[in-house]
Amino acid sequence: MPTPSNRATWLAVSAMFVLNGALYGMWASRIPAAAQLHGLDKADLGLLLLLLAGGAIAAFPLAGRVADARGAAPVTLAIAVAYAVALCLIGLAPSVAWLALALFAFGATHGAMDVAMNTWAGEAEAHIARPVMSSFHAMFSLGAGLGAASGYAAERMEIGIAPHFIIGAAIILVLTMMLARVPWASQKQGSGAKPPLFPFPRGPLIAVGLIAFCSSMGEGAMVDWSALFLVDIAQVDGARAALGYTIFSVAMVVTRLLGDQVTYRLGPVKTARLAGVFATIGTLFAVGFASYGMALLGFVFMGVGYAVIMPLAFSRAARDPHLPPGSAIASVATLGYGGLLLGPPVIGFIAHATSLRLGFGVLAALAGLIIVLAYAVRRPSN
């Protein structure tokens, strides 16, 4: 099988990150509309988001094992199709019960694709022979921003959730699959020592997973609650509220595009500490002021702060000397993307018991913990 060029490799992997982010961004931008359509309060929505998180966490270890055994690239492409179908099922759900099932499937396919595509990204980074992981995650943020922007447009044009999800998923799937079809020979693990069925982080990877958890808790809260935060706190309409996550995603895209260069100059530990400072300041801005403008400024700082943590964590996991790449990434994803998916229901429960502002206040403490745990992303010496 011929080896694709560096450019073709980067485009193929980037296309999958764009697809992953776009589908999730579409869902994030229409959460208020879905809640209104099904008559959900904050507690109901929190429970449904917990099902989404459960699907992803259940899929992480299985996806890691399958990616190691069958190759990350073909597994990523197969899951991408199922992920797009799951989004359409959310839009077509006729009742809360069907919505719950669709969200579980959406979470499972999202989580499985995260592990598979990051494993492929690790292979691509080794092939290209220079740091590119942050740029791949920039493409996820770009996709999420495009997905959220499509939600803003759909709200403005009064397009229903089902047609928005079906048309949007079909368009992004076709476009990205055209770029992702490259002759890539994925690495496969032999039949020797097998990793544990549920590869929870151990040793140094525990701290790597924890710093990823702190970051992704904030990112998850932004995905599912930023629009409702602006509606409740800043008293804006749904269309203006949808711009909050778009602005956050733009900040993440720009920062991730620069992230590899910043990490090269400062090193991973200093980069992670600086990111924690930005995330803490941004969260305090969003929580401390009730104005729309200050909340958006806080979202920008949060986007800058959270942008590089997951790429640094996955880059460290891919180099772990004790686990194969797919299983190592799955173990970090259990805590990392577990935070992305568990964060929204936790915020929902806190908001229901107290207020959404206090729920977001928890993110400030977690952002501060990123500064403390920054040492975890130091690359192994051997």
Q: Give the model's pLDDT for residue 355.
A: 81
Task: Answer yes or no: is pLDDT of 2 > 80.
Answer: no
* pLDDT at site 87: 96
Mean pLDDT, residues 151-166: 91
| pLDDT (0 to 100) of residue 71 | 87
* Tens digits of residue pLDDT in 262-274: 988 898 999 999 9
**If you count them, how many residues does the chain have?**
382
pLDDT band, residue 197 (cuts 50/70/90): low
| pLDDT (0 to 100) of residue 191 | 47
Mean of pLDDT values over 5-15: 92
Q: For residue 195, is pLDDT > 70?
A: no
Instruction: List, for residues 227-239, the tens digit of each pLDDT value.
Output: 888 887 777 776 7
**Which strand (E) or helix (H) includes residue 48?**
helix 42-70
Q: How far apart are CA 150 and CA 87, in angstroms?
A: 14
pTM: 0.77
Residue 291 pLDDT greater than 60, yes or no: yes
Compute the average pLDDT of residues 102-124. Answer: 92
Instruction: List pLDDT tens digits, range 36-52.
Output: 889 888 778 878 888 88
State residue 128's pLDDT score. 87
CA–CA distances in Å: residue 254 to residues 105, 248, 258, 307: 31, 10, 7, 9
The arithmetic mean of pLDDT across residues 148-159, rounded, is 89
Average the pLDDT over each of 107-116, 167-176, 187-196, 228-237 and give the range with the smallest value.
Answer: 187-196
Q: Which residue has the higher pLDDT, 36 or 322?
A: 36
Mean pLDDT over the full length of the chain? 86
Q: Once rounded to an integer, what is the mean pLDDT over residues 298-304?
A: 93
Q: Residue 16: is its pLDDT beyond 90?
A: yes
Rounded Cα distance between 45 and 54, Å, is 14
Taking residues 153-163, what's their average pLDDT?
Answer: 91
In the structure, what pLDDT confidence band is assigned to residue 381 with cuts at 50, 70 and 90? Answer: low
Percentage of residues of the chain with pLDDT beyond 90: 37
Residue 161 has pLDDT above 80, yes or no: yes
**Dist CA 324 CA 135 (whole Å):** 23
Q: What are phi and psi of 373, to 5 degrees?
A: -90, 5
Q: Identify the residue with better confidence: 200 or 298.
A: 298
The predicted structure's pLDDT at residue 229: 83
Residues 368-376, mean pLDDT to the nearest whole number = 93
> Which has more pLDDT, 355 or 104?
104
Q: How many CB atoms lie within 10 A of CB 370?
A: 28
Q: Which residues contact 50 (CB under 8 A, 6 or more apart)?
A: 342, 345
In the structure encoding, which two tokens stand for residue 257, read together?
């595009």
In which band, very low, low, confident or very high, does the pLDDT at 241 lie, cut at 50, 70 and 90?
confident
Q: For residue 194, what pLDDT is reported?
A: 58
